[in-house]
Amino acid sequence: MKKIKLERASASEIATSLGISPGEKKKAAHAISAVAFHKLSRRKAPSKSAGRTVAKAHKSVGA
């Protein structure tokens, strides 16, 4: 299959040609941060024993 050659448009060119409003950009940015927040909050908190191991390691190197 022959390859189709492409040139990259910038994000602002993409937004202009689709008529994306500042409100829609804001909505998008809000959703992206919400997803990032969910991802962070799903991360398991370190266990007590892991905390003790880290503390011991710090003590042994004099940190």
Partner 1 sequence: MNVVKSVFLNVPFDPRFQPLFVTLVGTLVVLGQKPRCVLEITETGQGRLERIFQLVGSCEMSIHDLSRVGTPVRFNMPFELGLACSLALSNRKHEIVVMDSEPYRLDQTLSDYKGRDPLIHRNSCDELVSCLLDLVSISPPLPSPSAARSLAKELRATARELCREMKTPSVFRPSLYKAIVAAAAEIAVSRGFIAP
Q: Which residues of this chain interact with partner 1, rule CB under 8 A?
A: 1, 3-15, 17-21, 24-25, 27-32, 34-35, 38
Residue 62 main-chain phi, psi, to 5 deg: 75, 25
Cα–Cα dist 63/55, whole Å: 9
Task: Record the tokens describing residue 7, joined without a space.
Answer: 């040139």
CB of 6 to partner 1, least distance (A): 4
CB of 53 to partner 1, least distance (A): 31
CB of 13 to partner 1, least distance (A): 7
